[in-house]
Amino acid sequence: MTDFVMPILGADMEEGTLVEWRKAVGDEIRRGDVIAEVETDKGLTEVEAFVDGMLEEIVVGPGTTVPVGTVLARIRTIRSTGETTATVTASEPRSADGEAHVRASPAARRLAAQLGVELSSLRGTGPEGAIQSADVERAAAEASAKPKEAAVSPSAEQRKQRMRQTIAAAMSRSKREIPHYYLATTADAHPATTWIAAQNAARAPGERLLAAVLFVKAVALALREVPELNSVWEEGRGVPRDRINVGVAIALRGGGLVAPAIHDTDTLAVDELMRRFRDLVLRARSGALRSSEYSDPTITVTSLGDQGVESLFGVIYPPQVAIVGFGRVVERPWSVGGAVVSRPVVTITLSADHRVSDGHRGALFLAAVDRLLQTPEAL
């Protein structure tokens, strides 16, 4: 049997409201199926199943607000042999269901003892569901707040305030815990902008590309060369991720932002990447993101170029270990073949976690992004 729990959709998400069940008891469930809709500080989110099976029991009804890790439903899972399996979470690995089998770091165990938190009641977010200090801290913070009924849907102003609080918590934690280092480089954007212009000249508006997708693709490919930046901080070390899921920062109208993942960014052709990017922006702004899009980014790309900013140094979103910023493409004097000409250039920045990488590797990463952008047709 698998517990389907309220997923953690951001480093500082504490609770969520179950809005709607998309499946009924007895329904067959496939991995990736959206089975529930949850409202969090970031808006409505479709939550996917991460196992195949059958919905056995619904534990939490619509309209109920519960802490992260609370069991929402139980899924009878079926292995290829037909056996039922042990407890697994719907969205991420979870600790085993008995105290004797709880996987937790030594630091988390010490903290749990200090704060009086029952480890077996927690959902670990570390490797193989191991409970980490952050999980214990979160549980301690939630301890005084009993689950409460969501009588009415929060107003837009309340949502905005909650999102602000969530961003504040995540960014404060990041600046408190992560020793950032910062690098910047200025890249010739002429090849990228001329390639985009040529492409778009022959396309209907609905098929056109934005320079942003070239930036995102270049970042994804550069991560193959410097994989430590495609890591998450777990158990006191940086753990490289196999998949490159670039999170793209999307500003929401009225304030706030989200940075959902484009899965397997490095493998996508530019046209497909643009299609997914457009879809992601549309769904982010209409509150229809999926849980995996919140939980899976391995790095974030952000830009304030549309707002006229020439360079920005982002704050890393934990547990990620890097964030890449792109500024506005601007015309600047540039040396080409010994002559100074006016050239479109873009400032690319890297904020990275010094616990995981050094400036030398960060510099190689930025150099790779620059180099990749010089041949946009190959992206």
Residues at the contact surface with other proteins, assessed by CB under 8 A: 197, 200-201, 204-206, 208, 210, 212, 251, 253-254, 277-278, 281, 305-307
Residue 75 tokens read as 């899924």
Q: In the sheet where 43-48 sits, what is the strand order?
A: 148-149, 64-67, 15-21, 34-40, 43-48, 289-290
Q: Which is nearer to other proteins, 176 or 253 (CB)?
A: 253
Shortest Cβ distance from residue 243 to other proteins (Å)?
A: 25
287-300 as b/e, with b when 16 or more CB fall inside 10 Å?
bebbbbbbbbbbbb
296 and 45 Cβ atoms separated by less than 8 Å: no
Q: Which is nearer to other proteins, 205 or 337 (CB)?
A: 205
CB-count burial class (<10 Å; 0-12, 13-18, 19+) for 161: middle
Q: Which is nearer to other proteins, 249 or 356 (CB)?
A: 249
Q: Which is nearer to other proteins, 205 or 333 (CB)?
A: 205
Q: Which residue has the tokens 């510099």?
A: 363
Shortest Cβ distance from residue 347 to other proteins (Å)?
A: 17
Q: How far apart are CA 321 and CA 304, in angstroms?
A: 20
Q: How far apart are CA 181 and CA 354, in angstroms?
A: 6
Q: Which is nearer to other proteins, 85 or 200 (CB)?
A: 200
Q: Which is nearer to other proteins, 116 or 206 (CB)?
A: 206
Q: How far apart are CA 30 and CA 290, in angstroms?
A: 15
Shortest Cβ distance from residue 89 to other proteins (Å)?
A: 34
Shortest Cβ distance from residue 260 to other proteins (Å)?
A: 14
Shortest Cβ distance from residue 251 to other proteins (Å)?
A: 7
Going by C-alpha positions, the residue among 200, 232, 195, 221 that lies closest to residue 329 is 195
Q: Which is nearer to other proteins, 172 or 307 (CB)?
A: 307
Residue 150 tokens read as 């969501």
Q: Which is nearer to other proteins, 139 or 280 (CB)?
A: 280
Task: Name every residue whose Cβ is closer than 8 Å to that of residue 269 and which is 6 or more positions away in sequence.
Answer: none
Shortest Cβ distance from residue 293 to other proteins (Å)?
A: 17
Shortest Cβ distance from residue 277 to other proteins (Å)?
A: 8
User: At 129, which helix (H) or strand (E)?
Assistant: none
Q: Which residue has the tokens 């209409």?
A: 286
Going by C-alpha positions, the residue among 62, 94, 78, 73 that lies closest to residue 30 is 78
Going by C-alpha positions, the residue among 310, 305, 309, 315 that lies closest to residue 350 is 315
Residue 165 tokens read as 């609080």
Shortest Cβ distance from residue 278 to other proteins (Å)?
A: 7
Q: Which is nearer to other proteins, 204 or 340 (CB)?
A: 204
Shortest Cβ distance from residue 250 to other proteins (Å)?
A: 9
Q: Which residue has the tokens 């029991």?
A: 57
Residue 184 tokens read as 């910047």
